[in-house]
Amino acid sequence: MFEPAEIHSLFDLSHTAAAALLQTLRYPWEALPKIGALILELGRSLPAGEYELRGENVWVHRTATVFESAYLHGPAIIGPGTEVRQCAFVRGNALVGADCVVGNSTELKNVILFDGVQVPHYNYVGDSILGYKAHMGAGSITSNIKSDKTNVCFHAGGEQIETGLRKIGAMLGDHVEIGCNSVLNPGTVVGRETTIYPLSMVRGFVPPHSIYKHAGEIAERK
């Protein structure tokens, strides 16, 4: 067990509609196979006066803005005040919270975005969970499958946790900042209020309240 990578260490669950699911689990990647079913369950209970059904199993809050060129595939929920901008590609199993930005040419697949998340420019976010007000700079992506296609293991502090999953992107804690054109390797977990420098290649666990400059150089945030 590795406590800093546990759900309660990474997220404030008051900022997501996925709270009921997440609070039953230990590690965030355990939620990934359950996102689709969760969205279907939530979607069927959403008030029709607040959410509009746009296509099969796609619920969009009436205060959200979805540009005509954006593509939404269900199951998906787009929360209040969220913007889904030009040419965004939501491939399905996407639970997007309130006041988020899904930017131009950004692709989402099997994700939970907490409230206030911004993935605004040319991002790929797959099989990932992004905490409250997490932000990914332009061109930064989550790599969600290993080159040898074997299951992803989580590595931190000499520990190894077998996830049993072939596809895991990144788990970003609340208020994480990812610099432009960074790559988050499969199974990356970034603790709360941590900043990743631009052009970084990140793997494993990055502690909370820190600044990741490059592999081997992580400074404590003061």
> What's the rounded Cα separation, in Å, for the pair 117 and 135?
6
Give residue 217's pLDDT band: very low, low, confident or very high (50, 70, 90): confident
Q: Tell me if 75 sits within 8 A of 17, measured CB to CB.
A: no
Active site residue 214: no
Condensed to tens digits (0 to 9), the pLDDT of residues 22-65 reads 999 999 999 999 999 999 999 999 998 999 999 899 999 999 99
Condensed to tens digits (0 to 9), the pLDDT of residues 137-189 reads 999 999 999 999 999 999 887 788 999 999 999 999 999 999 999 999 999 99
Number of domains in the chain: 1
Q: Print the domain residue range for 67.
A: 3-220
Provide φ and ψ at 32, rounded to 5°.
-60, -45
Residue 194: closest CA among 213, 181, 180: 213
Please name the residues in contact with 48: beta carbons below 8 A apart, sequence gap of 6 or more.
Answer: none
CATH number for position 114? 2.160.10.10
Please name the residues in contact with 198: beta carbons below 8 A apart, sequence gap of 6 or more.
Answer: 137, 179, 180, 181, 182
Strand bridging mode 217-220 / 94-96: unpaired
One of 121, 135, 155, 209 is an active-site residue; which one?
A: 121
Helix (H) or strand (E) holding 110: strand 107-113
> What's the rounded Cα separation, in Å, for the pair 168 and 54?
28
Condensed to tens digits (0 to 9), the pLDDT of residues 74-96 reads 999 999 999 999 999 999 999 99
